[in-house]
Structure 1
């Protein structure tokens, strides 16, 4: 009986964490996750409520909604691969166009609808021009985003038809079915209003929502550093870290690692990698370069009382030169031949991981969390050895 309960709890933990990674789920987007979410819906809804999220279900579609708390939304660092504003704007406009679709639609039909919608009076989105190849490519990608979210489903995976429409402007492009349940969850007026017009907070409201904000930060951010909080919130979190540890163990199965600088949620090891944990470092040059840059920068920069490490842009360049002199033979061709690649690779990856903040002058502020990666043990293959 205990084994069965433990397995059920683990499945509920995994489903809740997966919803943080994939907040809109349908049977078509992730059949297994959808089944687990429905199986543990009551428990997952309770976990979500504790952190100020909401779980909405329409038909077979389920969505976790990140409701702003005190006018703010805590979110993980934005990855470099995240969609840009123009692409997101077009995806939202295409979703609005889908409200007029009864069942199926082609990419060419969506293109016509989007052209008319963005040309209407009062619309504040830059007009879409289907005569431009770059704009057709954006529409293709916007439809791809909606397919990833479950709003659209490709009917025929004929890549040639999609290519002909995108590159040549000929043919119907691709055919889609509209999942009206997922569409309704995505375009819900209540959700859009909360996102676009969050309510301002006052000291009383901030105090009342402190527990939710603490849980939200520990779930969403790579770490919660006391120095990043105001004095009242930092002191409250220090006193409540035992309670938050218990809460998060119940919600995720993880533990909270307490350090002098702050707290970090450590999720349990799992053969199936936790969806909210970054797959880093991987066996590629950009990753180990970023790892070694964080280590060298942590040693050469100025440490602040909060545990952060600060370097000027010139100091960062010195660290880059040091790394190239030390390990340059093992770097990729682009890192060896294109100036600035090593620094750009390190900045992109470390920023996405929440380990680095870039200043206006490209100065570095390393998070105290970067110290967890001190003295990395990296085995590099001799570049002079023949490939086998």
Structure 2
């Protein structure tokens, strides 16, 4: 084969390799919107190489802005969950300081915002102790009467450290010396460098908080503030309206595990119904996700199971119990929590050799059912109405993918 004949195959292989690199970076940014040169080496270099293409794709499909600096790459996402399923999913995916840490509470979110405000006015280096003192002073503002933070106990210090660890993960802070655990024990401290370029991109909104605060007036509800911060600008042409619809629908498809037609506003539903094939094809080609188009809605499924923090199915006792309960709910329909608890008690006996020993203890089924339902709600598969054993679980259409029927065995004909 001549050198000329080899040219097309080499060119095609290079194009495939470049496309795979773009997909890797895009998927990484959807999981974690900050890539750093010192931590994410190869991914960071790929992001810099494909910066123009990725910036154009995010702007065209989602309206999100990609900020590429010499040491960081930051995706400025903007999305407000709408509809009962999307809101329930968002409530079950709180921030965490590190993987496996307890979820953020209201206090931790407030401390995170206070820490960011303090860092805006701090020196290029700051100690954890000094940061904590400034946060205590900031927490005494009249508008924060519901939050008390005095550094008086281990629990309060742990809450602040959780916020610090999240900032470390995003690259706002870089640890120079010390560690957070020694501070929690009230016997040590830590020193950090402040990366102001990353700090400046932490607030990701469509409108400035100052303008929104003036427009909303005194004592607005938190959902009003969130909606106002991310409200798209007024569209004056049909082209702008179509672009905003594309952005809104694409954000839902990328952020939510499943999008149901009956929970979309009328304009978004009409757009998705008319454009679902073309839209999902573009998203799938760029992200490697697999679209599932059903009568009730659309889901983008990750075959590699990387773009989620809740997997279904999952190994272990809780994962197995969740899968078995999903099968029952898909087949039986609406079910009370009390019935599911009785089902888990029987399953614990049937699978005693494989499940952890604590599942045999009295009342263990309550925690297993609660965890399973939390997972299923967090994946947009069920909706729970009520509390306690009298609560009712309503399966949602996407749960039908776990409805397993008994196999049909036919006799093989002799040849």
Instruction: Using structure 2 for the length normalisation, give the TM-score.
Output: 0.76
2:64 equivalent to 1:56? no
Equivalent of 1:366, from 376, 386, 395? 395
Equivalent of 1:24, from 24, 34, 39? 34
SS for the counterpart of 2:201 is helix
Q: After TM superposition, where is structure 1 displaced by more than 6 Å over at least 4 residues in a row? A: 69-72, 188-191, 200-207
Which residue is 1:105 aligned to? 126
Which residue is 2:409 aligned to? none
Which residue is 2:111 aligned to? 90
Equivalent of 2:300, from 247, 250, 265? 265
SS for the counterpart of 2:315 is coil
Equivalent of 2:78, from 62, 67, 73? 67
The CA RMSD measured in Å over matched residues stands at: 3.2
Which residue is 1:247 aligned to? 282
Q: Distance in 2 between matches of 1:22 and 1:109?
A: 29
Q: For residue 124 of structure 1, report the CA deviation from its aligned partner.
A: 5.6
| CA distance 1:71–1:343, change in 2 (3 Å) | closer
Q: Distance in 2 between matches of 1:334 and 1:96?
A: 45
Uncovered stretches (5+) of structure 1, i.e. residues with no partner:
302-309, 378-388
2:44 equivalent to 1:12? no
Cα deviation digits, residues 128-156 of structure 1 (max 9, x gap)? 20122211111122111110111111123
Which residue is 1:170 aligned to? 187
8 Å contact 2:349–2:360 — kept in the other structure? Answer: no
Q: Distance in 2 between matches of 1:223 and 1:147?
A: 31
Bigger relative CO (Cα 8 Å, ≥ 6 apart)? 1
8 Å contact 2:176–2:193 — kept in the other structure? Answer: yes
Equivalent of 2:244, from 209, 212, 217? 209
Q: Distance in 1 between matches of 2:295 and 2:241?
A: 24
SS for the counterpart of 1:140 is helix
Task: Report how many residues are paired.
Answer: 360
2:254 equivalent to 1:219? yes
SS for the counterpart of 1:257 is strand
| CA distance 1:70–1:345, change in 2 (3 Å) | closer
SS for the counterpart of 2:126 is strand
Q: Distance in 2 between matches of 1:376 and 1:112?
A: 61
| CA distance 1:276–1:30, change in 2 (3 Å) | farther
Instruction: Using structure 1 for the length normalisation, give the TM-score.
Output: 0.81
2:309 equivalent to 1:298? no
Q: For residue 288 of structure 1, report the CA deviation from its aligned partner.
A: 0.7
Q: Distance in 2 between matches of 1:223 and 1:133?
A: 40
Which residue is 1:182 aligned to? 198
